Structure 1
C-alpha cells in the first residue's frame, strides 16, 4: 500500500462482494474520495493521481463493513457490584475502548440498544477514539420491576433523575412513557427500545413475563413516529412480541420463543427480527466465571434451546433478519461467532445480507452503509478468500482480515 496523503483511496485487483446480489465480481477496482465510494469497475484500474492511497488487493475480496444491530458498548462488565463503583468518565472510556475492538473485528457500524449516548457517538464520529459508526438509542424504557429495573429487592426508593450512564430508565404509564421517549429523542436517540419481557441478565423477573401495557406501547410508538424514529422491543415470548407488533413496533430483539402468529405479523408489517444466539452460548459457558448471578444463569436454557429453531422458522418464511450479538462484558470478544451459529440454518449470502443490506434498511441507512454502491460511505473490509463460500473467513479476522476501512481511512 502506498502512504496515505489525502482523503482519496484506490483499491485494485480485488473481487467485489455485492450483498444485494450475493455474488463476487471478476477482478475489479473501487475508488474512494472524502469518505465516500465514488466509482467501481471491472478489469484494470485507472491510473492513480499523485497523492492517492493505493491498496493492491490482488485476489482478495472487498466487501462492505459489517453491521452489528444489537450491542451494549456501555456494559463492559457482568458484575453489577463492580459496575456500581464506576464513575461516568471511567464507564465511558471503557465503552469507547470496546467500540474500538469492534471496529478491528470488521464492524464499521453498530446499533446500541441500551446505554450509549450522544457524547459517545460524537467522540467516535470526530475520531477522538477509533471505533465504528455508533447508532444509539439512549436508555431503554422499563416498567417498574421490569427487565431494566435492576434495583435489589431490598431497595424501596423509586429511581430518581437517572443521570448516570446506564442500560435503562424506569417509566410507568402512558404519560411517563411519552415523557421518557421525548427525553431520549431530545438527546439524539435514533430509535427507542422498550423492554416487554423478562430477561436473562435481570435476576428478578421471568423470561415469559409480560411487561408494559398496549396503551404504553402505543404511546411510545406514537412519539417515535412523531420524531421520525421507530420502536424496537426486547421480547422473547409471543405474548409480548405479538402485542408489540400489533401496536406498531418496527423491530423485535431476540424473539427466541416466537410462534406462527409472530411470523405472520413480522411479514405483514415488514418488521425486523434481530436474533442474538451467541450471547446465550457464551452466558451458558462462561456466565458464572464472569459474575453472572445464579438466578440469571438458571434462565439461560429457557431461551437458548429455542433460539436456533426460531431463527430457522423466520428464515424459511422470509422475515427481515438482522445480525445482532448482545454480548456483555468480556464476552464481546465472541462478536463474530454469531455467524457460526446462524450458519447452521442460513446460507452465507443471507448471513452477509443480515449484517449489511438488511441491517442498513433497519437503521434507515440503505444506500449509505452495507453496500458498495456509488455514494455510500466507504466502510470496507478487505479479506482473503470468499465469504460466500466459507463464512468462517469472517469469523477469523486474525487470519483473513487484511484491512478495515472506515469512511475511506484504513484502520
Structure 2
C-alpha cells in the first residue's frame, strides 16, 4: 500500500495539548506511522497531501446516533413505510454521517449488528459502528410509540423497541439482544420527547429491572446506556450500575457529583433540542414533540456546565432525527459555549473513544493508532462552526482509506 504523507498542516492531535504548526503525518497500511514538525521526510513511493491553511485532526466520533430515526414524525414512521424502506433510509443516514466527518459512531437504539458488519466488510459506506439493537422500554415507556388513546399492542417495525416489564421479561429481552451480537444495551429509564404518552421529568423501570439489564450486560462483558432527563432517573441508573447516561438535560450540581462518584459517563445531546426546536414547525414536528423539545432545551447547557464543574466524564452525541440528521456537527459549537472549543472537540474524539473502549485504536493522532483522520479548512479551534459546513471537511480518511476528497 502506498504511503500517504500529509504535510504543511496545523495538527490538532486531540491528546490534550495545543495544536502544532508546520506539522506532517505519515500513514502506512491503515496506521499512523510517523508524526513530526518541520522538514518533511522523503519517501520513494508516497501520495502527498499539501494541507496548507487546514487542520489535520482525528476523525470525529458521534456517541449517540439513530440510524433508524430518519423521519421528522417518529410517531407515525413505522406506519408509513414498507420494512425494506426502513433499511434503505437507514443506509442513507449511515453514508451521510460519514460524509460529515464522523469516522466512528455509536448507535443508541435501532441498528442491529448487520449494519456494523456491512461497514466492516466494505459493503456500504459509513462510520465504524457499535450497536445496541432494539432498545428496552416498559409499557408506556419512552420507546413505546403508541398514543395514550390507543389500546392495541405496540406496533412492530424493523427498528422497534422491545416492550418488556418485570425482571424476567427484561432479562429475556436483554439476553435476546446480546444473542444477536450487539455491542451494548440501551434502556429507557425515563420519559422522553418523541413518545406521546410520557413526560421527560419522570422515571421508568424499577431499580430491580435496571439492575437486571446491567447484570446481563456485565455477564457478557458489555455496558448499558440509559435514556434519562430527570435527576431521579439518573440517580436510579447510577445505583443500578449503568455506565452511560444519555441526554441528562435536567442534571443539577448534586446529581452530577453523585454520578461522578458512581463512575458514570454523561453523553449530552444538544443538537437535537436546538435544531428541532428552531425548525420543528417548518418540518412538521408534532406539537407534543415540539413542546417537550423546547422544555428540555432550556436547561440543556446548564446541565453540561454542572457536569463539567463536577469533573464528570463527558462524551458527545447528536441524537438527531429526520432532517436533523444532516446537522450532527452542530454538537461541537453548542458544547463549546459551555466547555470551550478545545474540550468540545476532544469530547467528540478522544473522550468518545474512551467511552466506547476504543482509545487504543482511535480518537487521537498518535503513532500506532488506526488512521481515522479528517482535514478541515481553516482553524476549527477558532471557528467551531466550521464543522457545520461539510464543504469544510476536505478529506476523510478511515482506516487509511480515502472516503472523501474534495481538495
Q: TM-score range by the shorter chain?
A: over 0.9
Q: Is the Cα–Cα contact under 8 Å of residues 92 and 120 in structure 1 kept in the other structure?
A: no
2-structure distance, mates of 1:59, 1:174 = 57
Q: Cα offset for 1:177?
A: 1.2
Q: Cα offset for 1:388?
A: 2.4
Corresponding residue to 1:394 among 361, 370, 387? 387
What are the superposed Cα offsets for residues 45-77 of structure 1, whole Å, 9 maximum, x if unpaired?
A: 322333x32212234221000011111111110
Corresponding residue to 2:398 among 389, 395, 406? 406
Corresponding residue to 1:116 among 111, 122, 125? 111
Corresponding residue to 2:66 among 66, 69, 72? 72
Structure 1 gap segments, 5+ residues each: 1-5
Q: Is the Cα–Cα contact under 8 Å of residues 217 and 244 in structure 1 kept in the other structure?
A: yes
**2:56 maps to 1:55:** no
Structure 2 gap segments, 5+ residues each: none
**2:36 maps to 1:41:** yes
**2:136 maps to 1:141:** yes
Other-structure match for 2:353: 360
What are the superposed Cα offsets for residues 116-135 of structure 1, whole Å, 9 maximum, x if unpaired?
A: 11111122222222211111
**2:4 maps to 1:23:** no
Q: Cα offset for 1:178?
A: 1.2
Q: 1:108 is paired with a residue of what secondary structure?
A: strand
User: What TM-score comes out, normalization by structure 1 length?
Assistant: 0.93
What are the superposed Cα offsets for residues 273-299 of structure 1, whole Å, 9 maximum, x if unpaired?
A: 111112112222222333322222222
2-structure distance, mates of 1:152, 1:393 = 40
RMSD: 1.8
Other-structure match for 2:247: 254
What are the superposed Cα offsets for residues 134-186 of structure 1, whole Å, 9 maximum, x if unpaired?
A: 111111110011001112445434449x5x42142111111111111111112
Q: Cα offset for 1:340?
A: 2.2
Q: How many residues align?
A: 402
Other-structure match for 1:13: 8
Alpha-carbon distance change, 7 to 196 in structure 1, aligned in 2, over 3 angstroms: farther
Other-structure match for 2:290: 297
Matches within 5 A, 1:7-406: 8-50=3-45, 52-79=46-73, 80-159=75-154, 164-398=157-391, 400-406=392-398
Other-structure match for 1:3: none
Alpha-carbon distance change, 157 to 82 in structure 1, aligned in 2, over 3 angstroms: closer
